Amino acid sequence: LTFLGIESSCDDTAAAVVRAVGDRAEILSSVVEGQTTLHAAFGGVVPEIAARAHAERLDLCVERALSDAGLRLAELDGIAVTAGPGLIGGVLSGVMLAKGLATGSGLPLVGVNHLAGHALTPRLTDALAFPYLMLLVSGGHCQFLIARGADDFSRLGGSIDDAPGEAFDKTAKLLGLPQPGGPAVETEAAKGDPRRFAFPRPMLDRPGCDMSFSGLKTALLRARDAVVAEKAGITLQDRADLCAGFQAAVVDVLAEKTRRALALYLAGTPPAPALAVAGGVAANGPVREALMRVAAVAGVRFVAPPLRLCTDNAAMIAWAGIERFRTGARDGMDLQARPRWPLDRTAPALLGFGK
Ligand code: ATP
Ligand code: FE
């Protein structure tokens, strides 16, 4: 099966072609056009600008993905498109283009939840079997999910406020670092002392695997202002130490809560237990290392996709489309763009994998 994937839910315009044979998959092409320079002057993604840029660039991205793969549309088996959640203007651009391409070519159309794209990426790269425990940690989300199927995720817990990616981005903004903040803060943190500033570890004193990251932002703001008040300015070393302290707090919280989520998941005695991580923050070195240690201590397989497949891309959308297609899913011209679209079922997670 060979699918075109289209992604335009946030500030990356992306198209990719993925071919799957059995449980093995190959990324034939993957084009990602970022928009950071367009939004740089505004200190965050501006929805109107993002929507316009997607509308202008999507055609070319698809053309490039097809030519990089050396295939014509007619040689594919289907078209997958992100139908939400995300900024509605961008999602609409993608969905409209996909409908047009599907109508013109007669190929089947499959709408994909962007979060399912992230959460299924470890199966694209590592042929991971269901059920696995997924920590989905990105710019807008942070949740523990038991992934049982392409359309079957149940939530064990997650952030009750900000997502870590958002916290990285705000930290960067407060310290005058470029967007996206994650990579910039990670680079600075590598030069800093994580013990110089005391950052809280929110909610570690509470049972369960819910998390909170909004307090870290306030802690960072206070620590920064204290340094500025003391010295009438902030040095490069101060900035590196602030980044290191912030990142260490995020890593500690994610690691401890993952340990607890893993215990919950293992209580259901899954056949081939595995911990997988995905989403933009999964590209962070110290986060990956900490989670790898948590998995190793529990004696569980650990899967983390390569960095370029953690952040937004269309290969994950093509792959999720293939996974849904294999379960029989097809969408028609009534496919809706959805700004909000929770991945998890509302019912509490059902444990137990015996049957
Ligand atoms: P969502 O997937 O929740 O809808 P999104 O698509 O905007 O949100 P992703 O592209 O998955 O998010 O991830 C982007 C986020 O990941 C940004 O907040 C960015 O700062 C963060 N990020 C990227 N690389 C790193 C890194 N090395 N360390 C920490 N954070 C990172
Ligand atoms: Fe994303």
Residue 74, pLDDT score = 97
Q: Closest by alpha carbon to 115, among 93, 90, 92, 135?
A: 135
Ligand number with the minimum distance to the CA of 173? 1
Segment 218-251, tens digit of pLDDT: 999 999 999 999 999 999 999 999 999 999 999 9
Cα of 141 to ligand 1 centre, how many Å? Answer: 9
Q: Closest by alpha carbon to 9, among 61, 84, 65?
A: 84
Q: Closest by alpha carbon to 123, among 297, 301, 354, 328?
A: 301
In contact, 323 and 121? CB cutoff 8 Å? no
Residue 352, pLDDT score = 55
> Is a pLDDT exceeding 50 seen at residue 354?
no
Cα of 316 to ligand 1 centre, how many Å? Answer: 15
Residue located nearest, by CA, to atom 3 of ligand 1: 140
Q: Which pair of structure tokens corresponds to residue 52? A: 């316009």
Residue 347, pLDDT score = 42
Residues 6 or more apart whose Cβ sits within 8 Å of residue 89: 47, 48, 50, 51, 52, 54
| Residues whose beta carbon lies within 6 Å of some atom of ligand 1 | 10, 86, 114, 118, 138-141, 165-166, 168-169, 180-183, 186, 279-281, 283-284, 311-312
Ligand-binding site membership of 225 (annotated):
no
Cα of 182 to ligand 1 centre, how many Å? Answer: 7
Specify the amino acid at residue 341.
Answer: W
* 109 or 355: which leads in pLDDT: 109
Segment 52-110, tens digit of pLDDT: 989 899 999 999 999 999 999 999 999 999 999 999 999 999 999 999 999 999 999 99
Residue 37, pLDDT score = 87
Q: Enter the ipTM.
A: 0.99
Ligand-binding site membership of 45 (annotated):
no
Segment 162-203, tens digit of pLDDT: 999 999 999 999 999 999 999 999 999 999 999 999 999 999
Segment 88-98, tens digit of pLDDT: 999 999 999 99
Cα–Cα separations (whole angstroms), residue 9 to 71, 84, 155, 249, 297: 25, 7, 22, 29, 37
Q: Which pair of structure tokens corresponds to residue 121? A: 């990426």
Cα of 311 to ligand 1 centre, how many Å? Answer: 6
Average pLDDT, the chain: 95
Q: Which residue has the tokens 């449980």?
A: 23
Mutation test of ligand 1: which of 312, 313, 338 has the most ligand atoms closer than 8 Å to its C-beta? 312
Segment 265-313, tens digit of pLDDT: 999 999 999 999 999 999 999 999 999 999 999 999 999 999 999 999 9
Ligand number with the minimum distance to the CA of 163? 1
Q: Kindly state the average pLDDT of the residues 143-157.
A: 95
**Phi, psi values for residue 179, rounded to 5°:** -95, 150
pTM above 0.80, yes or no: yes
